[in-house]
Structure 1
Amino acid sequence: MLRDDKNVLPIKTGKAAERLPVVMQGETVVGCPIDDTLILVLGIGSLTSEQATVFLNGDPAMSVKVTLVSWPLKDASPAGTHGFVAIVPTNILRRGALKTIMFQHKANVTRYAFASRAASTGELIAMITDLAGSSLPSVIDGLVEGLISGPIGRKKLSAITVLLQAGARSDGCIELIGGSDEGEIFVQGWAQDLTPSVTRLLISGRSPSLAECAISVFARPDLNEQSSGFAGLLLANEIVEPNDIERLLFRGRRGWRFTEVYDRRLISGARETPSHVRAILPRVRSSTEILLRMRSAANRFDGTETISSLPFPVRMGIDHVFRVEGSGLLVSGWLLDPDNHVGDVKLRRHRGETQLDANWTRIDRPDVTREFDNKPPFNAGLDPNRHAHGFVAFAPELDGDSTAPFYVELGLSDGRRAFMPLTPTRITSRDAVVRQIRAIDPNAWALRHIVDQQLVPLLRGVNRPAPEIFGVVDLGSFEDVLGPALIIGVDERVEEIAPLIALLALDPETRRAPIVIAAATEIVDRIGVQVRRLADFYGLHLRLVSASGAEDLYDALEVGARAVSTETVVFLAASLLPRNPGWFSKLLAAYETRKECVLSPTLAYEDDSIRWAGTWVAGAQSDRALISRYAGYPIDAVTGMATTEVATATFECCVMPREALFSVDGFTRGYLGTHEKGLDLGLKLKQSGLRSYWLPSAQMLGSDDISVADKASTIALIERIDRQVFDARWANILTRDRATTTEAAV
């Protein structure tokens, strides 16, 4: 590379004709930078060896052996008998511009000065063409061999491509190109100089790339005797799309050649390519290794299910495939393989894959045993004591074309493969987990492993976008009302919202407040008519907000907060009711006293026992890092207590700065219920510097956050899963906080 004392000089280009007189003087060479560490040096002299030692800028400390490509000059010159190009590494150049170069071979030493302007690769080729004449192909061949031997970066590869485009000769054409899910590209056409072998070649096209091609040949009666058909499997060093290929450049028996892509070529997709390979396979000849690769390519997934047609006892079924956006796939099914014919089980899509059987959980499926026992091809009978045919597996989202189909691939002991197409169902993380739990016997021995190894990783990986506003309807003069917005979140637990709206309308404090009712779109469709009627009847200032992507109460509250611009918001779950009047003013007054905090009232059950009265960091003796200290006490036990700072507030009812919610990216996704989800946000706000308080004198009534549709065993599992997800995210931080709390107590 040519440099000045401080910076790398930009490459300046001119016409090749302007360089030749300079070179013909015999005392000047032209440099052509290839990349940051390599330069081609063109000159005239008497050098005919294949190697020489060079000294950059005449400095003995900057000497290196270089490869030389030389040729007899087309026209005689008093400056020398041969032209030459030296491939010179420049990483030894310490500093300063590259001004001179000295060649030493045996006892001969020749010194050259660099031309003031560097040449591009195209200009260098033009000059070599004028100097070499008919020797051009051999010169290009030598330069390519010298460049291709070492590490090849993007710039070097581009230079090699330009050289080959100038020196390689046409040899045949490509008539068919087919893609695959495994990165290999199938090519078929005809050529004269391609031999059945594994050939290293270069792909010329939108993005040049080195590749390896396993070539097989076959007879083509429509061609002359020197030509034959070829079918090859092309595997590039990087991803190459079939449409981007223009030429294949390869070294044949008589030098470098190129095979052009026919302008009317057929391009097939990954599903169609196996049939083309199967069609040509009986006609081709090559080495055993290449033929095996061709057979493997013919046996790729073409969109059809092939497991049920296997001649030996292997069968498979899929119960469901849940696709959770931003996380991955939860696959449940069974594999019957009593004789261990299956080597591996992969989930694939386009160029992405993961091995399902590496981490799946096997479960008992006696129904599968009963269904196939003593039926072909299981005529020998199945072990009546072995039923672990089922499986549940979570697979993170695969790379590759998002429109490509998913499928399961079985790798069989005889080298073949069999396939099962999959049709994933897009579903929320909560629905996926709950439906999987409901599908398993709560007494199953594998249930704990499924939770720990499949369901918890699924939830921990959730990275779905925040819920968004789908629609907004204002009822009454909402925009004209001042003061903090009261945001009511509605979830599927709330069957009747009229009592809460009536209580808010009869309370002078809340009647004048701007009220937002937010819920998922399907819930708004259900309650919308009733809300409109009540808002009109009571003259409320109300905004009805429908949310897309909302899975629970807290998602609804977050979307409600997005639909207002007030500095302060009051969150209220629609499942809660005020225990006494004045709760709204008490919350706001306590909040105004402290400013910039999260403040919540006491939550109680209808029997006046405490449900929530603050969350604290537990001591080291507790099995939970955060505890609700007064849960289960009669509400009178906290009446009269002062406002108290706590570890986290409850977002079922609280007052807080609106912007604080969005400064920590809102509620964290990936929880099944709202308890740990609320704790998670509380800790994020605490880390951001926002304090949380509990106001005992304000009290609300309500029930636990549980679904009436779920069994007790399902609810218990959901709670346990949420604890594991929460602990995985916060265990280290809470451990330090617990240690600090214990020391303070001592």
Structure 2
Amino acid sequence: MRQATTIDEKTSGPIGSQIAAKPPRFGKGRAFSCRIDPETVLVLGSGHLRGHAVSVRADGAATLRDSSIAASWALSASTPSATRGFAALLTQPKPDVPISMIDVDDGRTRERFLVAPRPISIEEAATLIAQTAALETRAIISRLADQFMAQPTNRSRVSAGLSLIRALQPSDGFIELVGETHDGVIVIMGWSRAFVPGRFQAYLVAGATTVADCFVANFARPDLPEGELGFIAVLETDGRVRADTLKGMIYNAGGSWHLTPAHPRVQVSAPLDTPDHIRSVLLEARATPEAMLRLRSAANGFTGKDTVSSLPFPVRMDLDRVFETDGGDMLISGWLLDPENHVTAVKLRRSGTEARLDEMWTRLDRADVSQSFADQPAFRSSINSDDQAHGFVAHAKLSGGKLDAAPFLELTLREGRRAFLPLVPKRMPARTAALQQLSLFDAANWALPAIVDDQIVPLLCNAAVAAPRMEAVVDVGVFDENTGIPIIVGSTVGMPEVGPLLALLALDPQTHCAPIVIVVGKSAFQRDLVRLRQLARFYGLSVRLVCASGALDRFDLLSVGAEEVSSETIITMSGSLIPAAKGWYGALTAVGLDHIGSVISPMLAYDDRSVKWAGCWLSEGGDQLLLDRYAGYPLMAIAALQLTRVDVASLECCIMPRAVLRDAMRDCGVYLGSTQKAREIGLRINKAGIPAWLLPSIQLLGCDEPLSGEQNGKLAALAERIDAEILKSRWRNGHEPHQSLDRISA
């Protein structure tokens, strides 16, 4: 199919308008020139021409090629000195050197003409032809236009031809309705004498002029005079023309050029209404099979309604959940019952863009669908009891297109029909969408691993997440950063975690005077603000309470809190940890001052005196990126460890440069939990070449991350597996950590 091309407009007047108010006139021995392109000049004049085999030479220069007459005509008002007018195309490759004289030779006599020094425009040339050619004007204009249009790649020549036609050709009918389908094709309706049913190419006038394939059908209209027919046409413009910008069409039919402008009160149809306009005349339309096929395809377009349920075939479809994330990704679940395999393709579409859904979805058993249709006559004999995989889950993204247009599903049937199902997506973050989708499935579902690997993990890997932000800050008493390195405490729970921790910090003389920043989510801040204030005042602590919006986990909270202090060094601390003994703050800050620019973490332990975390090292092979080498060991087994260099520190509690945390948190991945996210942050710090250390002499007690309300027990292990796959996927795609270190003590 021909690709649409665009020709810049040289005229700004309306279609069919007369451009030149005072056109030039022929005179004895006088001619006019009009520059067409950098190498071609149109010359007009009148004289005693006796035939069509006439040659023209400019300025008598032997280097310039002869040119034959492009068109000649009998003058409507002949004189003894001139009986015929002529138009010739001359090759003149020097635009800055005007032609001053031409010689016209008809084989018997030679006439010399002086060329007017001022070139005329193509519109003035058209008017000059119209004044002298009378009834031959249409034929002369068409003949010249044919010569210009013979070189479709020469935009200047094509533009000149279009200008001739627009200037003088009378309007042939009107375009009364213009619409655009969901496929992006333009549909026009109106009346004309010249439209020939079938396929041809036309020039669409819409700001710039676009060449497009047109598929036209005619139909009788009782409101039109005899000899005039209504028409409907599908214009394939490759999206270069919008329906509301179309001003008219220029086309060649019956051996001459025609102009059909848009009516001053043309109706512009919305995409959802356009198929109904086509169907209203389709039964009366007459055209070639190819044109009728295009019209039927456009008529079978999306109108915003469910057409699957009305199909005369055993095909039905419905949706369970449709999510659209903040980044434009979509997660769709539902079922398609097609026991006879009528459906050849399922597409997710939005005006201007599409994605092939059936090539990327994951199928799963839906016995309830089979049972619901088992008693219906159309399905009774075709449903296979051994094939229950009617359900599906699919992740897809529609790139580009009209973002404000509603998405829909399009089913293509082997019978050549299409059916549609409108979508009403629910907007939410990718993490929430994934959790809600997973909550629909039983953990023992055989399709769940494929759903996770092919749909959920790609959704979360590509998800964009807005950075958390501070919403409110409340200082209790005098918050003084000069009393020590600030402790940033992030808690996803609020008062149940922070209350006991504040009591322990108040009992330790070192932390009693330290500046403490407590960061919680918005709901916890609104709920616990008064009680946290009372506790901080009662204990006499220097506390800054921060409300964070958009935080997904404790590390988002820590990053928000770090921005609310001016100190270049901070201590991060999860709200779920408690110090095993007093004096930890002074020991940690002392080592931190000896290793400025490093990340130093104390040992984390469970309350049964076993190791929760004692350093992470890069894996030298296998499926894991990081190894927690001492996790689960009794504390006594590693009592001899001193300050030890590790590959990845723990951000649950560490002393570190504030800038390192800010850089490591930028564009961090979207995870269902926080464990793997902590590993990614640690890997980023490793990649940046920041030294990481384990300080075993300091121990903090804690437990594993509690499950949120979104992650119930059956999904806990699944969420951890999903997060592990997300981390591996993100680090396979161009993220390589720094080289692993020897496991030695300092």
Q: 1:386 aligns to what?
A: 387
Does the CA-based 8 Å contact 1:481-1:541 persist in structure 2? no
Report the Cα offset of residue 145 of structure 1: 4.9
Does the CA-based 8 Å contact 1:491-1:519 persist in structure 2? yes
Q: Residue deviations 1:5-53, cap 9 Å, x none?
A: xxxxxx9xxx9999999xx9999977555xxxx7544457999889999
Report the Cα offset of residue 394 of structure 1: 1.0
Q: What letter matches 1:445 in structure 2?
A: W
Name the CA shift for 1:437/1:137 in 2 (closer, same or farther; >3 Å). Answer: same
Q: 2:730 aligns to what?
A: 729
Q: 1:180 aligns to what?
A: 181
* RMSD over equivalenced CA pairs, Å: 4.6
Report the Cα offset of residue 696 of structure 1: 2.6
Q: What letter matches 1:469 in structure 2?
A: M
Does the CA-based 8 Å contact 1:667-1:678 persist in structure 2? no
Report the Cα offset of residue 146 of structure 1: 5.7
Report the Cα distance in structure 1 between the residues aligned to 2:627 and 2:288, rounded to whole angstroms: 70
Does the CA-based 8 Å contact 1:603-1:611 persist in structure 2? yes
Q: Residue deviations 1:533-556, cap 9 Å, x none?
A: 333434444443333332222222
Name the CA shift for 1:69/1:562 in 2 (closer, same or farther; >3 Å). Answer: farther
Q: Residue deviations 1:563-583, cap 9 Å, x none?
A: 444433332222222223333
Name the CA shift for 1:28/1:191 in 2 (closer, same or farther; >3 Å). Answer: closer
Q: 1:456 aligns to what?
A: 457
Q: 1:8 aligns to what?
A: none
Report the Cα offset of residue 511 of structure 1: 4.1
Report the Cα distance in structure 2 between the residues aligned to 1:665 and 1:154, rounded to whole angstroms: 54
* Residues 391-402 of structure 1 aligned to structure 2 (within 5 Å): 391-402=392-403
Aligned residues: 708
Q: What letter matches 2:607 in structure 1?
A: E
Report the Cα distance in structure 1 between the residues aligned to 2:301 and 2:360, rounded to whole angstroms: 24
* Residues 645-684 of structure 1 aligned to structure 2 (within 5 Å): 645-663=645-663, 666-684=666-684
Matched, 1:499 2:496: no
Name the CA shift for 1:247/1:81 in 2 (closer, same or farther; >3 Å). Answer: closer
Report the Cα distance in structure 1 between the residues aligned to 2:370 and 2:616, rounded to whole angstroms: 51
Corresponding residue SS for 1:377: helix
Q: 1:365 aligns to what?
A: 366
Q: 1:516 aligns to what?
A: 517
Q: Residue deviations 1:651-681, cap 9 Å, x none?
A: 2223333333444661513322222222223
* Residues 294-693 of structure 1 aligned to structure 2 (within 5 Å): 294-326=295-327, 328-380=329-381, 382-478=383-479, 484-491=485-492, 495-620=496-621, 622-639=622-639, 641-663=641-663, 666-693=666-693
Q: 2:257 aligns to what?
A: 256
Does the CA-based 8 Å contact 1:535-1:541 persist in structure 2? yes
Q: 1:126 aligns to what?
A: 124
Corresponding residue SS for 1:266: strand
Q: Residue deviations 1:96-153, cap 9 Å, x none?
A: 998799x9x99x9xxxxx9999x8xx94443565478547766765665566566759
Matched, 1:293 2:294: yes
Does the CA-based 8 Å contact 1:467-1:548 persist in structure 2? yes
Q: What letter matches 2:660 in structure 1?
A: A
Corresponding residue SS for 2:380: coil
Structure 2 unaligned regions, length at least 5: 1-9, 11-18, 108-114
Q: What letter matches 1:725 in structure 2?
A: I
Does the CA-based 8 Å contact 2:176-2:265 persist in structure 1? yes
Report the Cα distance in structure 1 between the residues aligned to 2:519 and 2:294, rounded to whole angstroms: 59
Report the Cα distance in structure 2 between the residues aligned to 1:138 and 1:689, rounded to whole angstroms: 80
Q: 1:169 aligns to what?
A: 170
Corresponding residue SS for 1:452: helix
Q: What letter matches 1:714 in structure 2?
A: L
Structure 1 unaligned regions, length at least 5: 1-10, 91-95, 109-113
Report the Cα distance in structure 1 between the residues aligned to 2:589 and 2:54, rounded to whole angstroms: 88
Q: Residue deviations 1:590-620, cap 9 Å, x none?
A: 3333323333222222222222222211223
Does the CA-based 8 Å contact 2:202-2:214 persist in structure 1? yes
User: Larger deviation: 159-168 or 592-601?
Assistant: 159-168
Q: Residue deviations 1:212-247, cap 9 Å, x none?
A: 222222222222223222222222133432222222
Report the Cα distance in structure 2 between the residues aligned to 1:513 and 1:677, rounded to whole angstroms: 28
Report the Cα offset of residue 265 of structure 1: 2.7
Report the Cα distance in structure 1 between the residues aligned to 2:550 and 2:588, rounded to whole angstroms: 30
Q: Residue deviations 1:317-346, cap 9 Å, x none?
A: 211112222151111111111111112111
Q: What letter matches 1:723 in structure 2?
A: A
Report the Cα offset of residue 303 of structure 1: 1.7
User: Larger deviation: 580-589 or 131-140?
Assistant: 131-140
Report the Cα offset of residue 360 of structure 1: 1.2
Report the Cα offset of residue 260 of structure 1: 2.5
Report the Cα distance in structure 2 between the residues aligned to 1:147 and 1:648, rounded to whole angstroms: 72
Q: TM-score, length-normalised on structure 2? A: 0.81
Name the CA shift for 1:698/1:249 in 2 (closer, same or farther; >3 Å). Answer: farther
Q: 1:84 aligns to what?
A: 88
Q: What letter matches 2:427 in structure 1?
A: R
Report the Cα distance in structure 1 between the residues aligned to 2:545 and 2:482, rounded to whole angstroms: 15
Corresponding residue SS for 1:378: helix
Q: TM-score, length-normalised on structure 1? A: 0.81
Does the CA-based 8 Å contact 2:600-2:692 persist in structure 1? yes
Q: Residue deviations 1:674-712, cap 9 Å, x none?
A: 222222233333333433333333332222235165455
Q: Residue deviations 1:503-538, cap 9 Å, x none?
A: 334444444444333333334333334333333434
Q: 1:7 aligns to what?
A: none
Report the Cα distance in structure 2 between the residues aligned to 1:58 and 1:678, rounded to whole angstroms: 84
Report the Cα offset of residue 363 of structure 1: 0.8
Corresponding residue SS for 1:624: coil
Report the Cα distance in structure 2 between the residues aligned to 1:526 and 1:67, rounded to whole angstroms: 93
